[in-house]
C-alpha cells in the first residue's frame, strides 16, 4: 500500500514540476533563485498528508527515515515561490535577492545562498525591525511616512510594533481591503490586548471606504467632463479640479503608512470636495420652469359667480320687503 502511494506521489510531482517549468515565465529566466525554487516539489494533497505524519512522528520523538516523508524546508521554499509568482513583485521582476541577498547568477545552491542570513538574525535585511528599510529601498515614499508614525517609533524603541510584513504578508504582498484592515488592526488595538485607541480598527475601515467613494466621485466627474466637452462646454477649470483630486488620491497610499488618521481623513475630504466641485461646474443647467398664464374662469367658475350674484340679489329683495 505504501509503495503504491509513493508511486502516485512521484508521478504527481513529476507532472506538476513539468507544468511549472512549462508555464513559469516571469521575466527572470536568468535568475538562479527562480530557476531553483520553481522546481521544488509543489504543495499537493499527498505531500500535505505525508508531512503531517512526519510532524506527528517528530512530536512523539519517533525516528523516521521513510523516503515518502517530505522535507518541510523544501516544502516551505516551494510555498514561497508559488506565492511570489502570483504577486506584483513577480510581475515587476523583483526577485528573491532584492530582499534576501545572495548571488542569483550562481547555479550551485551553496554559492547562490552565500551571504544570506536567517530572518532571525538581527543583521538580516528581512529581520522584522530591518524590514522597513529593506522595503524602503523601493518604496521610499511609504518609508518616509512610516518613519513619522508611532508604529515605527515603537518598533525601533520597544522592538514590539507592526512592520511592513505585518499587513503585507511576505511573498504575496497583497494590499488589504477595508474589512481585512479592520481585522488586522484589531489584532493589537483591542480591549483584550489593552492597546489603545480601541476604535482604530473601525476608523481604519471607515476611512478606506471613504477612499473608495472618492475614486467613484473622480470617475464620475471625468465622465461628466467628457460629455460636457462634447457639448462645447468650457471644462478647463473642471479638469484642473479633478486632476488635483486625482493627484491627492494617488498620494493617499503612501500617506496611509503614517497612520495619522485625522490627517488622512482631511486629505480625503478635500480631494472629495475638488471632485464634487468639478462635477458641479459641468452639470447642465436645469431647464427653467415656465410660469403658467392666468387662466380665465371656465364654465364652473362662471356658474359659481352667477350663483353668488343670485344669492346676493335674493337677499337684497328680502331686505326691502
In the chain, pLDDT over 90 holds for what percent of residues? 39
Average pLDDT, the chain: 79
Which cell is 208 given?
478606506
Is the pLDDT at 9 greater than 60? The verdict is no
Instruction: Identify which of 15, 310, 64, 87 has the alpha carbon closest to the alpha carbon of residue 34.
Output: 87
3-state secondary structure string, the chain?
CHHHHHHHHHHHHHHHHHHHHHHCCCCCCCCHHHHHHCCCCCCCHHHHHHHHHHHHHHHCCCCCCCCCCCCHHHHHHHHHHHHHHCCHHHHCCCCHHHHHCCCCCCCCHHHHCCCCCCCCCCCCCCCCCCHHHHHHCCCHHHHHHHHCCHHHHHHHHCCCCCCHHHHCCCCCCCCCCHHHHHHHHCCCCCCCCCCCCCCHHHHHHHHHHHHHHHHHHHHHHHHHHHHHHHCCCCCHHHHHHHHHHHHHHHCHHHHHCCCCHHHHHHHHHHHHHHHHHHHHHHCCCCCCCCCCCCCCCCHHHHHHHHHHHHHHHHHHHHHHC
Residue 253 near residue 181 (C-beta atoms within 8 A)? no
Q: Which of 171, 146, 206, 144 is nearest to 89 (CA)?
A: 171
Q: How confident is the model at residue 237, as a pLDDT?
A: 96
* Among 182-186, 238-242, 252-256, the least confident range: 182-186
User: Can you read off the three cell numbers belonging to residue 253?
Assistant: 497610499
Residue 257 exposed, middle or buried by CB count within 10 Å (0-12, 13-18, 19+): buried
Residue of 247, 252, 241, 250 lying closest to 275 (CA atoms): 241
pLDDT of residue 14 exceeding 60:
no
pLDDT above 90 for 7? no
Q: What is the pTM of this model?
A: 0.62
**pLDDT of the residue at 251:** 95
pLDDT digits (tens, 9 = 90+) for 40-88: 544 545 555 656 666 676 666 665 544 444 455 555 566 778 888 888 8
Query: pLDDT tens across 148-182, in order?
Result: 999 999 998 888 888 998 888 888 888 888 888 88
Query: Do 272 and 245 touch, CB atoms closer than 8 A?
Result: yes
Would you say 101 and 116 are in contact if contact means Cβ atoms under 8 Å apart?
yes
pLDDT tens, position by position, 214-234: 999 999 999 999 999 999 999
**Confidence grade of residue 20 (pLDDT, cut at 50, 70, 90):** very low
Amino acid at each position: 500500500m505504501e509503495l503504491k502511494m509513493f508511486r502516485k506521489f512521484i508521478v504527481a510531482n513529476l507532472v506538476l514540476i513539468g507544468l511549472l517549468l512549462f508555464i513559469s515565465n516571469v521575466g527572470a529566466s536568468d535568475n538562479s533563485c527562480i530557476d531553483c525554487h520553481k522546481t521544488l516539489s509543489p504543495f499537493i494533497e499527498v505531500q500535505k498528508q505525508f508531512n503531517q505524519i512526519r510532524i506527528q512522528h517528530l512530536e512523539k520523538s519517533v525516528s523516521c527515515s521513510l523516503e515518502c516523508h517530505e522535507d518541510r524546508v523544501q516544502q516551505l521554499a516551494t510555498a514561497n515561490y508559488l506565492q511570489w509568482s502570483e504577486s506584483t513583485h513577480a510581475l515587476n521582476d523583483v526577485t528573491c535577492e532584492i530582499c534576501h541577498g545572495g548571488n542569483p547568477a550562481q547555479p550551485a545552491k551553496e554559492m547562490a545562498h552565500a551571504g544570506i542570513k536567517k530572518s532571525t538574525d538581527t543583521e538580516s535585511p528581512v529581520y522584522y525591525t530591518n524590514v522597513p528599510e529593506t522595503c524602503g529601498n523601493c518604496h521610499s515614499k511609504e518609508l518616509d511616512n512610516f518613519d513619522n508614525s508611532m508604529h515605527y517609533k515603537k518598533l525601533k524603541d520597544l522592538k514590539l510594533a507592526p512592520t511592513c510584513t505585518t499587513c503585507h504578508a511576505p511573498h504575496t504582498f497583497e494590499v488589504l481591503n477595508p474589512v481585512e484592515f479592520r481585522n488586522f488592526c484589531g489584532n493589537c488595538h483591542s480591549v483584550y490586548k489593552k492597546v489603545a485607541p480601541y476604535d482604530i480598527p473601525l476608523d481604519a475601515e471607515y476611512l478606506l471606504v471613504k477612499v473608495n467613494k472618492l475614486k467613484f466621485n473622480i470617475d464620475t466627474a471625468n465622465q461628466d467632463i467628457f460629455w460636457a466637452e462634447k457639448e462645447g462646454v468650457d471644462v478647463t477649470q473642471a479638469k484642473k479640479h479633478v486632476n488635483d483630486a486625482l493627484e491627492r488620491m494617488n498620494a493617499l497610499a503612501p500617506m496611509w503608512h503614517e497612520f495619522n488618521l485625522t490627517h488622512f481623513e482631511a486629505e480625503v475630504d478635500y480631494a472629495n470636495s475638488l471632485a464634487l466641485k468639478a462635477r458641479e461646474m459641468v452639470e447642465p443647467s436645469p431647464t427653467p420652469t415656465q410660469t403658467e398664464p392666468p387662466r380665465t374662469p371656465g364654465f364652473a367658475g362662471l356658474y359659481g359667480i352667477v350663483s353668488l350674484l343670485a344669492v346676493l340679489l335674493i337677499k337684497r329683495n328680502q331686505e326691502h320687503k
